[in-house]
Amino acid sequence: MQKIHLLHYGELALKLGNRRLFEERLAKNIRALAAPLGRVKVKRLYGRMVVVPETDMDDGELALVLDRVFGLAYHGQAYMEEASWENLERITAAILPEGEFTFGVRAKRAEQTWPKGRGETERELGAFVVGLRGWKVNLTNPDIWVQVEIVNQKILISIEKKPGLRGLPQGVSGQVMALFSGGIDSPAAAFAMMSRGCHIHAIHFHSAPYTSQESQDKVVDLAQALVRFQPKMTLHMVAFAELQQEIVKNTPQQFRVILYRRYMLRIAEIMAKRSRCLALVTGESLGQVASQTLRNMQTVDAATDMLILRPLVGTDKEDITKMAKKAGTFDISILPHEDCCSFLMPRKPATRSRIFEIEKAEEGLDVEDLLWDTVRGIETIQLS
């Protein structure tokens, strides 16, 4: 019998319309995320998939990789063998644990040549287990579900079914550029978009030399944490202090944050278009801070005509914290670091701004050349 991992991707696949693309992408992502362990083969089998290790690897570690694959409804270790009743009984006997348990059998059949019906298979295999172990049947909440799938002249048997990350396979929705600060929210936002099939590129604006190297390292660590879910990521580091200083010198202080944000978006847009990203992503949540009111979001948006996605806009800190913990970024985000230095931050930021006011404030700026110098100075890091 062959030890494999059995994957189910649920109905989402069908809704996407292009199922083949979905499956191919899922298989590619699994191979890439499992690459540090060794080589795996991913086979499609009528609405499910099996992962077969081709090099020596630890099953537990492979299961941990599958925990991080978007697009899976369930996964679990399973055994595959030629479809026959003898094989079914033999494998079942081999994989049942010792001890006292309640159990149930669930069978699925996508195979016309299998001689028994679904119910018949369940009852007869159940009777076999009772005879073998003396266990009690419980069909509502058993300790162990013995799951049998008969497909493509193979039987797949499993007593394990772990919930997957769900969502869509990474990459099926295209690429996006995530504005990535060192906070809790923006990595959670990037993770949310990953879960909807986006391949993430990240861009961070730092205020060196006014902020420390550690605050930049932290952003790299955050991006690295997300690389556990997406095999590769580009991270752009933008030296933003000079532009910020021009804004501080030449514009009303209450608009500073909005103006920073507008310039961040303009630079992010340039980088996004260079890597064929279709949208920008931010970690804003409505009303969380002064810069995140509807009025201010609107004035910030007006700086670019690119689509801006704010997956956290309708969520609160508790939801965001949960998401960040799931992404594995929370513990890194809460490490102390200076977001920005106090002289760059306004004492009293505006909570309402109008586009005409902001455009007027920008007239006091002559930063076109500086903007392009800033873009040329961007340092790009490839994470894998």
Q: Give the footprint of ligand ATP on this chain (CB under 6 A).
A: 179-181, 183-186, 204-205, 264, 282-284, 288-289, 291-292
The least CB distance from residue 254 to Mg ion, in Å, is: 19
**Rounded CA separation 32/232 (Å):** 9
Asked if the peptide bond before residue 209 counts as cis, ω within 30 degrees of 0, the response is yes
Sign, CA dihedral 69-75-80-82, equals negative
Chosen residue from 29, 92, 121, 181 binding Mg ion by CB under 5 A: 181
Q: Does 187 bind Mg ion (CB under 5 A)?
A: no
DSSP 201: E
DSSP 196: B
Is 283 a residue that touches Mg ion (CB under 5 A)? Answer: no
Would you say 34 or 258 has its CB closer to ligand ATP? 258
Q: Minimal distance in Å, beta carbon 307 to ligand ATP?
A: 14
Q: Which is nearer to ligand ATP, 102 or 288 (CB)?
A: 288
Neighbouring residues of 116: CB distance < 8 A, sequence distance ≥ 6: 85, 124
The CB-of-283 to Mg ion minimum distance in angstroms stands at: 8
Work out how close the CB of 354 gets to ligand ATP at its nearest, in angstroms, rounded to a whole number: 19
Q: Does residue 219 contact residue 340 with C-beta atoms inside 8 Å?
A: no
Question: Minimal distance in Å, beta carbon 247 to ligand ATP?
Answer: 14
Residue whose CB is nearest to ligand ATP in the complex, by number: 183
Distance, CA of 361 to CA of 377 (rounded, Å): 26
Within 13 Å, how many C-alpha atoms sit on residue 152's CB side?
Answer: 11
Sign for the CA dihedral angle at 172, 173, 175, 177 comes to negative
CB of 183 to Mg ion, least distance (A): 3
Q: Which of 76, 167, 183, 197 binds Mg ion (CB under 5 A)?
A: 183
Select 158 or 282, whichever has its Cβ closest to ligand ATP. 282
Angle ∠(180,244,349) on CA atoms, nearest 5? 80
Using the rule CB under 5 A, give the single segment among 64-72, 182-190, 196-204, 326-334 that binds Mg ion: 182-190
Please name the helix (run of DSSP H) or strand (run of DSSP E) that holds residue 264, with its range, or none: helix 256-274
Near Mg ion by CB under 5 A, which window of 107-115, 174-182, 262-270, 273-281? 174-182
Residue 315 interacts with, from Mg ion, ligand ATP, none (CB under 5-8 Å by kind): none
Q: Which is nearer to Mg ion, 49 or 340 (CB)?
A: 340
Which of residues 179 and 193 has its CB atom nearest to Mg ion in the complex? 179
The number of residues that bind Mg ion (CB under 5 A) is 2
Q: Which residues bind Mg ion (CB under 5 A)?
A: 181, 183
